[in-house]
Amino acid sequence: MSKKIKPAYHISGQSHVTGYSRFIGDGVKHQGILVAKMVVSTKAHAKLLEVDCEKAKKIAGVRAVLTYLDIPGENQVGHPVPDQPLLAETEVNFIGEPIALVVAESEKAATKALAAIDIKYEALPAIFSIEEAVGRKNFLGPCPKLETGDVEQAFATCDFVLEDMVGTPAQEHVYLETQRCIAVPGAEHEIILYPASQSANAVQEIAAQILGWKRKDITVDISRLGGAFGGKEGGITNAIAALTALACYHCNSSVELKLKRYEDQAWSGKRHPFSAKYKVGFNKDGKIIAYKAALYANGGAYTDLTLSVLERAVLSADNAYYIPNALIEGYPCRTNLLPNTAFRGFGGPQGIFIMESVIERVAQHLQMDPILIREVNVYQSGQKTHYGQIVSEACGEDMLKRLKTLSQYQQLKKDTELFNKNNSLVKRGLGVLLSKFGIAFTMSFINQASALIWLYGDGSVSLSHGAVEMGQQVHTKVAQIVAHTLGISLDSIRAESVNTKRIANASPTAASTATDLNGNAALKAAQELKSRLIPVAIRFLKKDHNVDSTVEDIIFLDNKIYDKSHPDQFITFKELVSHAYVMQVDLGAHGFYKADKLFYDRNTGKGEPFSYFVNGACLAQVEIDVLTGKTNVLKVFIVHEAATSINKEIDIGQVTGAFCQGYGWCTMEELQLNSEGRYLADTMATYKIPGIRDLPDVFEIEMVELKREKASVFGSKAVGEPPYTYGGATYFAIKNAILSLADNDKDVQLKMPATPEAIVMAIEEL
Ligand code: MTE
Ligand code: HPA
Ligand code: MOS
């Protein structure tokens, strides 16, 4: 079998652009489906004195108004840490916390009922900031501490020691499809859920827990999502699915619960804002000898995925650099905000951005080129991270070299300096971001996946696995793997929905691992089927063509099966499968894959949590208007370690989109809180994400196809999250442009996101 997979198209491309694609609920919605609406807390922290639903219940068309008293099972939606009620009982802890659920025959009746519910609160003191939480030692769980070498001793030997702080902001996911779920009663003691979720398994577990049912009685089916970006892995997604199940249980009818955009923005958790205090010790040559950092994550009111997000942040705190003495601490802060949740990169971008800020600070202090500081410190193969994993096939240095070539760095730097000399009201700046991103769930055991393949008598194929399609095209990639293995065309494969009846216990589609895990599982299932089909092929090649073959001689290619010495004497895949059926060959196969060498010990902060790393670098050139702070991103260059892509076009799409999302996080997406703990931006009109006009004029991406020992299926590497961090280059470029206005070794505080307002404030501070 050839190693290299054929290029392929996006399997849903045509149906997406022609509008035929159906998303969550489109296929199962019917006339008469009940409408559910959430009643949520309007207070960040309060005692619930009274929740009066009597008036609402009497409104025409209202079928039920449910509170925690109507939960037959356990009122618990916290996952993986059981610390969050589905419906508040005596206290609310954030604005947006569900208190009751209205179920009605129409949207109108439901809305009317919402207004008729009377809730009496007694306000309690609320906290929103990391500082307040730290002051009260209000943490959601244990505080990780990772240590290597001896930091205190090392600081004493350094030429320079600096201390500073860095903050990274929240971010709204802006998936196109809002949170939603449809619940349908099954034939007998069964509820079928169609949630917009990245984890069928979590939805099944939570819904069963809420109803006090067995998991076998809850079926979850997920066709595809209109985007997720981590926002459909955790808290609110499980809550919405469980509430829909609860409504279905009480009304014995199909129910839909679907958030409006403004509800979704106001009630769903965001990327965790972080703040970090650090102390860095380095020598004249820019070499970092000691690094001590405390990373604080604002987790919000309940744990949700905060502990895992923080864990990835502290594991990413070294970013791409070998630091012999490091002490990294993490603090999961509990506040009265929405429970923050997974968001592309999952704490990685925060840890990486903080370290990149340290690099920039060192460069600024030494008045050296920031790329040089990166080169001096970048990992070489064989060096150990602060948690003890050995970095192999290190290529950060190579990435920087390629980036300099791609961007014609020296010339660009000269041009930028010259431009700044000649212009006083418009300034240009260059910024770089180097990134090393660890791949695998840090909860090691969930690095597992299953696939199930059925061959139909006509040679067409049903392919199920546990990865949810959310735009990243995991369904195309896994189908390509199966098509390649069986030598068939992509259009003979149906990429099935994720369904708990076909694939149980699936890990969430997250951590960029979906193709690694599910692709490997599908490969195993396809290989199993192939091994069963080969004897049938040998028999019919002999019978039909009088060709004698051994197992090793048989080729599956282009829907044909033949002996490698007789390519013209073939049988078709369709003929082969129909022969196999008649011969009573089992035409279904299950594949299971686990990454079982990974481990991470939370007590010692040591282990080998990652299968491998994905490296890459980005350089941005920006222009700022000194008077208004308006930014123009002029040029962006990215080099990305693609290893052997399964689908290069898809991977370029992922790199492009991830960069844009990171660029938005760093420069324009702003979530300000009011004094009550409510985000001011709750519509797209007040939340600015990069649009087409914000794209750079020059945008070049080099996919670096290096052959890798440590990679995944067919030599590929994960691509979903790692390029997100590249967006940080725009922030450093803006800072560089601002610094061109200042005296040499002066530093400047530039708030993130670097909005025009933040830029003007930073300039005024100079
Ligand atoms: N790409 C699109 N178009 N839509 C998404 O929701 N999610 C990202 C990334 N790329 C996302 C996306 C996130 S957060 C992750 S973890 C990965 O896709 C998950 O899919 P993968 O494991 O198949 O890369
Ligand atoms: N990344 C993303 N999602 C996750 C992880 C992780 O490491 N662990 C649990 N969910
Ligand atoms: Mo991605 S944040 O791991 O869903």
pLDDT of residue 224: 96
Residue 680 to residue 670: CA distance in whole angstroms = 9
Distance 346 CA to ligand 2 centre (A): 7
Q: What is the DSSP letter of 584?
A: T
Q: What is the DSSP letter of 519?
A: I
CATH of the domain at 51: 3.90.1170.50
| Angle at CA of residue 454, ends 449 and 455, nearest 5° | 140
* Probe residue for ligand 1, chosen from 229, 272, 646 as the CB with the greatest number of ligand atoms within 8 Å: 229
Q: Are residues 659 and 532 in the same domain?
A: no
Mean pLDDT calculated for residue range 413-440: 98
Distance 283 CA to ligand 1 centre (A): 40
Closest CA to 472 of 225, 268, 703, 662: 225
Pick the atom of ligand 2 nearest to 442's CA.
Answer: 7
User: Which residues are within 8 A (CB) of 582 and not within 5 positions of it... i.e. 6 or more apart?
Assistant: none
- CB of 468 within 6 A of ligand 1: the answer is no
Distances (CA, A) of 408 to 59, 150, 413, 698, 723: 69, 40, 9, 13, 21
User: Which residues are within 8 A (CB) of 596 and not within 5 positions of it... i.e. 6 or more apart?
Assistant: 447
Tokens found for residue 339: 């429970």
745-758 CB burial, b ≥16 within 10 A, e <16: eeeeebebbbbeeb
Closest CA to 5 of 469, 445, 481: 481
Q: Are residues 339 and 463 in the same domain?
A: no
Residue 148 to residue 386: CA distance in whole angstroms = 5
Residue 148 in domain: no
Residue 205 to residue 598: CA distance in whole angstroms = 25
Are 734 and 622 in contact by the 8 Å Cβ rule? The answer is yes
Q: Are residues 572 and 686 in the same domain?
A: no
Residue 199 to residue 204: CA distance in whole angstroms = 9
pLDDT of residue 114: 97
Residue 544 to residue 560: CA distance in whole angstroms = 14
Distance 233 CA to ligand 2 centre (A): 9
What are 6-32's pLDDT values in tens digits?
889 899 999 999 999 999 988 888 889
Q: Are residues 550 and 698 in the same domain?
A: no
Q: What's the maximum distance between 2 C-alpha atoms anywhere in the chain? A: 87
Residue 150 in domain: no
Residue 209 has pLDDT above 90, yes or no: yes
Residue finishing a domain among 220, 249, 267: 267
Name the residue with higher pLDDT: 315 or 683: 315
* pTM: predicted TM-score of the whole model, two decimal places: 0.97
- CB of 718 within 6 A of ligand 3: the answer is no
- CB of 343 within 6 A of ligand 3: the answer is yes
- CB of 308 within 6 A of ligand 2: the answer is yes
Q: Are residues 392 and 463 in the same domain?
A: no
Residue 255 to residue 505: CA distance in whole angstroms = 25
Q: Are residues 373 and 283 in the same domain?
A: yes
- CB of 202 within 6 A of ligand 2: the answer is no
Of all residues in the chain, what percent carry a pLDDT higher than 70? 99
Specify the residue for token string 């209109």.
226
Residue whose Cα lies nearest atom 6 of ligand 2: it is: 441
H or E, element range at 107: helix 107-116
pLDDT of residue 747: 82
User: Which residues are within 8 A (CB) of 311 and not within 5 positions of it... i.e. 6 or more apart?
Assistant: 144, 330, 347, 442, 602
Pick the atom of ligand 1 nearest to 232's CA.
Answer: 6
Which amino acid is residue 739, in one-letter code? Answer: L
Which amino acid is residue 613, in one-letter code? Answer: F
Residue 139 in domain: no
Mean pLDDT calculated for residue range 233-259: 97
Residue 471 to residue 474: CA distance in whole angstroms = 8
The 3-state DSSP class for residue 593 equals: strand
Which amino acid is residue 570, in one-letter code? Answer: F
Q: Are residues 608 and 707 in the same domain?
A: yes
**Of the ligands numbered here, which is closest to the C-alpha atom of 516?**
1
The 3-state DSSP class for residue 214 equals: coil
H or E, element range at 399: helix 396-407
CATH of the domain at 316: 3.30.365.10
User: Which residues are within 8 A (CB) of 56 and not within 5 positions of it... i.e. 6 or more apart?
Assistant: 62, 65, 102, 113, 114, 116, 117
Tokens found for residue 370: 């920031």
User: Which residues are within 8 A (CB) of 276 and not within 5 positions of it... i.e. 6 or more apart?
Assistant: 165, 166, 167, 293, 294, 295, 296, 354
Residue 116 to residue 96: CA distance in whole angstroms = 18
pLDDT of residue 26: 86
Residue finishing a domain among 594, 613, 634: 594
**Is residue 226 very low, low, confident or very high in pLDDT (cuts 50, 70, 90)?**
very high
**Is residue 743 very low, low, confident or very high in pLDDT (cuts 50, 70, 90)?**
confident
Length of the chain: 766
Residue 158 in domain: no
Mean pLDDT calculated for residue range 122-128: 98
Tokens found for residue 547: 């060709």
Residue 2 has pLDDT above 80, yes or no: no
Tokens found for residue 149: 């070498």
- CB of 447 within 6 A of ligand 2: the answer is no
* Probe residue for ligand 2, chosen from 237, 271, 308, 343 as the CB with the greatest number of ligand atoms within 8 Å: 308
- CB of 201 within 6 A of ligand 2: the answer is no
Closest CA to 657 of 673, 638, 678, 674: 638
Q: Are residues 499 and 574 in the same domain?
A: yes
Mean pLDDT calculated for residue range 384-388: 98
Residue 1 has pLDDT above 60, yes or no: no
Q: Are residues 452 and 422 in the same domain?
A: no
**Of the ligands numbered here, which is closest to the C-alpha atom of 514?**
1
Residue 696 in domain: yes
Residue finishing a domain among 547, 564, 594: 594
Total domains present in the chain: 3
Pick the atom of ligand 1 nearest to 472's CA.
Answer: 1
Tokens found for residue 298: 């604002």
Cβ burial of 762 (10 Å; 0-12, 13-18, 19+) is buried
Distances (CA, A) of 749 to 281, 626, 754: 20, 16, 10
- CB of 269 within 6 A of ligand 2: the answer is no
pLDDT of residue 25: 83
Mean pLDDT calculated for residue range 616-620: 98
- CB of 515 within 6 A of ligand 1: the answer is yes
Residue 132 in domain: no
- CB of 466 within 6 A of ligand 1: the answer is no
Mean pLDDT calculated for residue range 387-413: 98
Residue 580 to residue 582: CA distance in whole angstroms = 5
Distance 713 CA to ligand 3 centre (A): 20
Distance 510 CA to ligand 3 centre (A): 4
Which amino acid is residue 350, in one-letter code? Answer: Q
pLDDT of residue 70: 98
Residue 657 to residue 663: CA distance in whole angstroms = 10
Specify the residue for token string 């829909």.
244
DSSP conformation letters of 144-195: -EEEES-HHHHHHH-SEEEEEEEEE-------SSPSEEEEEE-SSS-EEEEE
* Probe residue for ligand 2, chosen from 346, 387, 598 as the CB with the greatest number of ligand atoms within 8 Å: 346
Which amino acid is residue 153, in one-letter code? Answer: Q
- For residue 493, the enclosing domain spans 448-594
3-state secondary structure 268-317: CCCCCCEEEEEEEEECCCCCEEEEEEEEEEEEECCCCCHHHHHHHHHHCC
Q: Are residues 615 and 720 in the same domain?
A: yes
Residue 344 to residue 352: CA distance in whole angstroms = 13
113-134 CB burial, b ≥16 within 10 A, e <16: bbebbebebeeeebbbbbeebe
Closest CA to 143 of 600, 609, 603, 610: 603
Distance 748 CA to ligand 3 centre (A): 33
Mean pLDDT calculated for residue range 190-210: 98
Distance 472 CA to ligand 1 centre (A): 5
Residue 365 has pLDDT above 70, yes or no: yes
Q: Are residues 89 and 193 in the same domain?
A: yes
Residue 249 has pLDDT above 90, yes or no: yes
Residue 235 has pLDDT above 90, yes or no: no
Residue 723 in domain: yes
Distance 24 CA to ligand 3 centre (A): 19
By DSSP bridging, strand 606-608 and strand 599-601 are: antiparallel
- CB of 514 within 6 A of ligand 1: the answer is yes
Q: Are residues 498 and 627 in the same domain?
A: no
Residue whose Cα lies nearest atom 18 of ligand 1: it is: 720
Residue 3 has pLDDT above 70, yes or no: no
The 3-state DSSP class for residue 585 equals: coil
**Is residue 682 very low, low, confident or very high in pLDDT (cuts 50, 70, 90)?**
confident
Catalytic residue among 50, 375, 721, 757: 721
- CB of 510 within 6 A of ligand 2: the answer is yes
Active site includes 721? Answer: yes
Beta strands in 314-396 (DSSP E): 325-334
Residue 67 in domain: yes
Specify the residue for token string 């790329």.
371
**Is residue 756 very low, low, confident or very high in pLDDT (cuts 50, 70, 90)?**
very high
User: What separation, in Å, do the N-terminal and C-terminal C-alpha atoms of the chain show?
Assistant: 63
Residue 656 to residue 614: CA distance in whole angstroms = 16
Mean per-residue pLDDT of the chain: 97
pLDDT of residue 31: 86
